Chain A
């Protein structure tokens, strides 16, 4: 069964600092990988996704993520964090085809706090 681990429950950074959120997954084949962001009281917004091809993917709001098959990781990065980036971030893995193609398995989430 697939699983996703986000090792950091809570991360605090200063505005303008760089950010890396970690995500490790367990999946038998090539996964579909996603990062979602959830602002307080809001739904989930897709930041970026990886299906195939270039392992470095660009997303919205200046975020990027790199797929590393050898490490089973899909870490999210941003070179300079803005106060508006404070939110909870979820990594998710999706099944590519089969009978549960739409199912996403989520990590536990990482809460990002940004200090001015």
Chain B
């Protein structure tokens, strides 16, 4: 089954404690990205990757890092989380043919 898998689904952490949210896709897609969803703002792109070792900033990259060492994986790293990063995060992947994005189930992060 084609899917994008994120882990964990829920995470509560404290300010400043580094964390990683994993994302994996099994569709051999080149393009992967991370979004955050906040009430009234829809989804906003954090970072994206066009292919292995190729990443770039989206619209709201501050406080986040990513890496793309393998085509299937695209982890999101928060080196020093702050409360304003409390949000619902989605990983997505797509191919260059159609721009149609497939989304993971989401990770609800709370930073206290």
Contact = CB atoms under 8 A, between A and B. Distances in A.
Interface of A: 4, 6, 9, 32, 34, 36, 42-44, 46, 49, 51, 90, 92, 94-97, 99-109
B100 A34 contact: yes
A44 B109 CA distance: 17
A2 B45 CA distance: 13
Contacts of A101: 31, 94, 96, 99
The 7 closest A-B pairs by CB, nearest first: A102-B31, A94-B99, A106-B42, A102-B94, A44-B103, A106-B43, A43-B105
Interface of B: 30-33, 35, 40-45, 48, 50, 58, 90, 92-94, 96, 98-106
Given A96-B99, A101-B99, A108 B42 contact: yes
B40 A99 contact: no
Contacts of B43: 44, 90, 92, 104, 106
Given A43-B106, A49-B98, 16 more contacts: A32-B99, A46-B100, A94-B100, A94-B101, A99-B50, A101-B31, A102-B31, A102-B101, A103-B48, A105-B45, A106-B43, A106-B44, A108-B41, A108-B42, A109-B40, A109-B42
A42 B105 contact: yes
Contacts, number: 72
Contact of B33 (A4, A32, A34, A102): A102
Nearest to B31: A102
